[in-house]
Every structure is written in structure tokens, then in C-alpha cells.
């Protein structure tokens, strides 16, 4: 019989995430040592090879319409492109001045249905098929982040858009249908429930303490790394093993407030976190999401308690019936242990 590890000897804990008002069970007996927690299914390339990939340079005609590119000169080679999604989840056909509410009163659903107006865009992060986001230098990653910012600023002119979700799926099991490095923006006519919950939770914390919950984060054992304007941590009540949050040091409610200097700073830290995950966890599939505030959050009383952050989730465990039934997650790795493992991965971002 194998001897137990120190992590397995720890008692389970149930922690509350005050940001999302969610409980997480930490059950270390369900896993090996955190240092052995490798992905069993590293991200795998799909069937799109460079020659047949519509996202590669030279194949632009195979894509949906382009929104903008960097650099903007159409005669020069592009470094990144923002295009419409060929298979959008929502329709951009509704005009800006139209009312997107459905005429469904005869069915009794008028308060529960809105027309599926929105934007679903793709950010092609590099023209080269074999290059991943983590291969780019910090300034180039910053350019991708600034492309998100520019597109959000364009979209927020549509008054019926309530929220813009920026996300990246890396690897087939993380939801990526194309192996060429890309990310997406989905602009919604509603505020998603997790965002509403986050707003309510941060307001409650502010009402009780007079402070922003993310400004109050004291990393200590949860700290992975830090840059001039950002810190990276494993959150105190992480839902997933080796989940990472990158948080602006200065209070900021909307991601699209990001400037060029901070974009490069964030680009370097994001690159570092992705490379640490790849080295330590066997290049796992992952998702990252920019958790920002609804576009309509502009009142000074709301801005004081909302704080955006970037969330990275490596796909190491599945979500089962317990999680789906309760909304309460089981994490086999204590955040302090995950942070320690990631801190000890020595990697330079200068590549």
C-alpha cells in the first residue's frame, strides 16, 4: 500500500468565493500531489493544417468578412485580424436603432425572450499556423489585448448590447474547433447570470467593508507572480485545479480602459502564466475569460466596487452531476499548493 502524501493528509475544506457567491469543496484525497497533476489529454492539433487553414495568411478569402486588421494598411502583411465568426451564435442583422425585443406576448413569454441580436467575432492572433499566443513576445500579446479593447469600444456604441465576453478556447477538449491560435468576442443583449451575481456579491462586500473585494486581495501564499500593473494568483476558493486570476493592481472596472503600457505589462504576465501551465501541466487544453463589467456600469457608485480580471482555467478535470446539480465545485488541489507549484516553475517571458 502506497504511503500518503502531505497533501492527502490535509482535511477537506469548504470555502466560499465572495466574488461569485459560490462554495467550493477542497478534497485533496481525490488527487495525487499537486506537482504530479498533469494533463492526461494535452491540447491536440485538429485536422486543419497550415495549407488548408482559413486563418493562415493567404487564405483570407475563405473567412467571414474582416472587421479590422493590425497593421491597418491592407497592402502590408497583417499581424492579427478581427473577423466575423462564420457560424455566429447571435445575429448582427438587427439595426442599431431597432428594438430587439421579440413580439411574443401572444405566447406569454414577452418578459422572457429577446431577439438574438449581438456580435460574435474572432480574433486571429497570428498569421502563422504553428505559432501560439504564448509564443508571441509581451508586446505582441499586448497587441492582441488592444484588439479586444478596440472591438469592445466599437461594439459599445450599440445601446442594446449589455455585455461583451472575451474568451479563448485552446485545445479540442476546451472547445476549440480550429488549431490556429485565435480567441473570440461574444456581445450579448443581456447580462449573463454569473456577471449579475458577481455584481451583487461585490456590492455586498463594498456595502459591508467600504472596499473593493479584488483591491483587498492579499496574495501571500496565493501569489504566483507579479508585474508593474498586475498580479497573478490562484484564487482562495478556486473552482478548478490550477485556476489563475490576473488582477489589475489599480482599481479598474472595465477591461476596455486598458492603455498601451498596461497592455504590454499584462501581455508579459499572461504569456508567463500560459507557459508555466504548459511546462508544469503537460501543455493542457485551457480556457481564458476576461471578466469585466457590463457596459452600462458607468455610475460612480457602481464603479467603486466592480473590478475586472482575467481568468485562466486549465482543463484537468471534468464537471460532473454534483457540480451541475448544486453549482458547488469539488477541487482536488488546495490553491496554496497550486500557487507554490506554479511559483517554482522558472521561465523567462523573453522569447
Q: Can 182 be counted among the known catalytic residues?
A: yes
DSSP 91: B
**120 in a labelled binding site:** no
Distance between CA atoms of residues 110 and 337, nearest Å? 49
- 234-260 in b/e form (b: 16+ CB < 10 A) is bbbbbbbbbbbbbbbeeebbbbbebee
**Among 120, 170, 182, 256, which one carries the catalytic annotation?**
182
Q: What are the start-end ranges of the H helices in the chain?
A: 6-9, 138-155, 193-209, 260-280, 300-303, 321-326, 335-343
Distance between CA atoms of residues 174 and 281, nearest Å? 15
DSSP 163: E
**53 in a labelled binding site:** yes
Instruction: Identify whether the C-beta of residue 187 lies closer than 8 Å to the C-beta of residue 82.
Output: no
Report the Cα–Cα distance between both ends of the chain, in Å, rounded. Answer: 45
**328 in a labelled binding site:** no
C-alpha cell at 277: 501551465
CB atoms within 10 A of CB 64: 15
Residue with cell 508593474: 228
SS3 string, 6-49, reads HHHHCCCEEEEECCCCEEEEECHHHCCCHHHCCCCCCCCCCCCC
Among the listed residues 89, 176, 175, the one whose alpha carbon sits nearest the alpha carbon of residue 124: 176
**254 in a labelled binding site:** no
User: CA gyration radius for the chain?
Assistant: 21
Q: Residue ranges for the binding site?
A: 53, 56, 129, 180
Active centre residues (catalytic): 182
Extract the annotated binding site for Zn(2+). 53, 56, 129, 180
Amino acid at each position: 500500500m502506497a504511503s500518503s502524501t502531505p497533501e492527502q493528509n490535509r482535511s477537506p475544506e469548504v470555502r466560499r468565493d465572495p466574488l461569485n457567491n459560490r462554495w467550493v469543496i477542497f478534497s485533496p484525497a481525490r488527487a495525487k500531489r499537486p506537482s504530479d497533476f498533469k494533463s492526461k489529454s494535452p491540447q491536440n492539433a485538429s485536422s486543419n493544417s497550415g495549407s488548408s487553414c482559413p486563418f493562415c495568411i493567404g487564405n483570407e478569402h475563405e473567412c467571414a468578412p474582416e472587421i479590422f486588421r493590425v497593421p491597418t494598411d491592407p497592402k502590408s502583411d497583417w499581424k492579427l485580424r478581427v473577423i466575423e465568426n462564420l457560424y455566429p451564435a447571435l445575429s448582427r442583422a438587427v439595426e442599431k436603432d431597432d428594438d430587439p425585443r421579440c413580439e411574443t406576448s401572444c405566447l406569454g413569454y414577452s418578459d422572457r425572450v429577446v431577439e438574438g441580436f449581438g456580435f460574435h467575432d474572432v480574433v486571429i492572433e497570428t498569421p502563422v499556423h504553428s505559432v501560439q499566443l504564448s509564443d508571441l513576445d509581451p508586446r505582441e500579446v499586448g497587441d492582441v489585448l488592444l484588439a479586444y479593447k478596440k472591438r469592445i469600444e466599437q461594439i459599445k456604441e450599440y445601446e442594446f448590447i449589455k455585455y461583451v465576453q472575451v474568451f479563448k478556447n485552446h485545445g479540442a477538449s476546451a472547445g476549440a474547433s480550429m488549431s490556429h491560435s485565435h480567441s473570440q468576442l461574444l456581445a450579448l443583449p443581456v447580462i449573463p447570470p454569473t456577471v449579475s451575481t458577481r455584481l451583487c456579491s461585490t456590492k455586498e462586500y463594498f456595502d459591508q467593508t467600504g472596499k473593493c473585494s479584488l483591491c483587498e486581495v492579499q496574495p501571500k501564499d496565493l501569489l504566483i507572480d507579479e508585474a508593474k500593473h498586475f498580479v497573478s494568483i490562484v484564487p482562495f476558493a478556486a473552482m478548478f485545479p490550477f485556476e489563475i486570476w490576473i488582477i489589475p493592481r489599480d482599481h479598474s472596472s472595465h477591461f476596455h480602459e486598458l492603455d498601451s503600457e498596461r497592455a504590454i505589462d499584462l501581455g508579459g504576465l499572461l504569456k508567463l502564466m500560459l507557459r508555466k501551465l504548459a511546462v508544469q501541466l503537460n501543455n493542457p487544453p485551457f480556457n481564458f475569460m476576461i471578466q469585466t463589467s457590463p457596459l452600462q456600469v458607468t455610475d460612480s457608485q457602481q464603479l467603486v466596487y466592480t473590478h475586472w480580471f482575467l481568468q485562466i482555467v486549465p482543463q484537468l478535470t471534468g464537471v460532473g452531476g454534483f457540480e451541475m446539480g448544486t453549482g458547488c465545485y469539488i477541487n482536488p488541489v488546495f490553491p496554496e499548493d497550486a500557487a507554490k507549484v506554479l511559483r517554482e516553475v522558472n521561465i523567462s517571458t523573453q522569447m
